[in-house]
Homo-oligomer: A and B are copies of this chain.
Amino acid sequence: MRAPLPAGSTLDAVARAAEVSSATVSRFFNTPKMLSPRTTQRVREAVERLGYVPNLLAGGLASSRTRLVTAVIPEISRSLFASTIQALTDTLAAKGYSVMLGLTGAHEEHAEREILSIIGRRPEGIILTGPTLPPEARRRLKGSDITIIETWDLPAEPIDLVVGFSHEAVGRAIAAHALATGRRRAFVASATGVRALARRYGFAKAMMERGAPEPTVATFESPTTYRHGRAAVAAHLEGGGKPDIIVCSSDWSAHGALDELRRRGIRVPEEIAVIGFGDLDFASDLEPSLTTVTIDGNVIGQKAADFLLRRTQGQRIDNPVVDIGFKLMRRGSG
């Protein structure tokens, strides 16, 4: 046997100090109304005196309620998903849950191992927000009995619960907007990945169905940056492109596009319109302010938390797929 876990005394120590049984101390934390005021007081004092902090591992093991939720995202930096994670964490923290982060990175082999290590902690729920997982990992999740929530998309074959929106619909909406404002020659600076692909497809299809020429596409490793936007626009224009609208796969790259156009003395939106994606904090402050697509990441996080909580309370969920939609914010850039 090893040294006891660091950080503190045990339930039993508290029980002895308060001269009650350990079950009573456990109830003090979990079902306080079961205790008489006198006992409550005694236990409270002992807990404070010893600086006792319950061991959630032991508790989780005994009760099979770990109060743990894992959010899986591709990478933490510059993430659109920040607001979702934040909302999720805030909502769940209020209920005593902790949120673990699973960063899968780009490598699929890692994703597999990561999923195992996640399942190993027996979280009560897993929120998938960026990545498309390899099939083996998906199978593992499906077979795991854990509540799985896929977000930021509407997968064709959901694992379990879904809170998202249709990327194809976003593409179509952008096309509708472009055509309605008289644009036809589109340049698309897109990210790699299946979601950007869906937006691109929805956009191109809708454009072409209404007689516009097929958009020119440049793709960049996700997530797209300011630099990508500048570079893409520069390259396209130098290559003789004559777009009247530039569709970017993030507000960052749209920002870069805007700056590159200004540098070249091209007026936005008079000569070329620019559209972003994400409606990040700076979008409305740019000059011209950026037309973009808003997704309410907070709502995604909240609904996901909601789903989870309902599941853990054993309620059944009638409508396992929630489409939270999106909004095209028309601003100065087009």
Chain A residues within CB distance 8 Å of chain B: 2-8, 51, 53-58, 60-61, 63-64, 66, 75-79, 82-83, 85-86, 89-90, 93, 96, 98-103, 105, 110, 114, 116-122, 140, 143-146, 225-227, 230, 252, 255-256, 259, 263, 281-282, 285-287
- Give A71's nearest chain B residue, CB to CB: B101
A116, B93: Cα distance in complex, Å? 12
- Taking a contact as CB atoms under 8 Å apart, the answer to whether A82 and B76 are in contact is yes
Number of copies: 2
- Taking a contact as CB atoms under 8 Å apart, the answer to whether A7 and B146 are in contact is yes
- Taking a contact as CB atoms under 8 Å apart, the answer to whether B285 and A5 are in contact is no
Out of B55, B66, B100, which one reaches A99, CB within 8 Å?
B100
A68, B227: Cα distance in complex, Å? 36
- Taking a contact as CB atoms under 8 Å apart, the answer to whether B90 and A86 are in contact is no
| Nearest Cβ on chain B to A69's Cβ, whole angstroms | 10
| Nearest Cβ on chain B to A124's Cβ, whole angstroms | 8
A-B contact pairs, 23 of them (CB 8 A): A5-B122, A6-B144, A7-B144, A7-B145, A53-B119, A53-B120, A56-B122, A57-B57, A57-B121, A61-B61, A76-B86, A77-B82, A78-B281, A89-B101, A93-B110, A93-B114, A96-B117, A98-B117, A99-B103, A100-B101, A252-B282, A256-B282, A259-B287
- Taking a contact as CB atoms under 8 Å apart, the answer to whether A143 and B51 are in contact is yes
Given contacts A56-B122, A100-B101, A255-B282, 14 further A-B contacts (CB under 8 A): A8-B144, A54-B120, A55-B122, A56-B121, A76-B85, A78-B82, A78-B281, A79-B82, A99-B100, A99-B103, A225-B281, A225-B282, A256-B282, A259-B287
A172, B136: Cα distance in complex, Å? 54
- Taking a contact as CB atoms under 8 Å apart, the answer to whether A77 and B83 are in contact is yes
- Taking a contact as CB atoms under 8 Å apart, the answer to whether B122 and A6 are in contact is yes
- Give A56's nearest chain B residue, CB to CB: B120
Give the residues in chain B near A77, CB-CB below 8 Å.
82-83, 86
Give the residues in chain B near A4, CB-CB below 8 Å.
64
| Nearest Cβ on chain B to A141's Cβ, whole angstroms | 9
Out of B3, B121, B140, B146, which one reaches A98, CB within 8 Å?
B121
- Give A113's nearest chain B residue, CB to CB: B93
Give the residues in chain B near A287, CB-CB below 8 Å.
259, 263
A3, B314: Cα distance in complex, Å? 13
Give the residues in chain B near A286, CB-CB below 8 Å.
259
A122, B121: Cα distance in complex, Å? 13
Report the 4 A-B pairs with minimum CB-CB distance, sorted nearest first: A6-B145, A77-B82, A226-B282, A56-B120
- Give A86's nearest chain B residue, CB to CB: B76
- Taking a contact as CB atoms under 8 Å apart, the answer to whether B61 and A281 are in contact is no
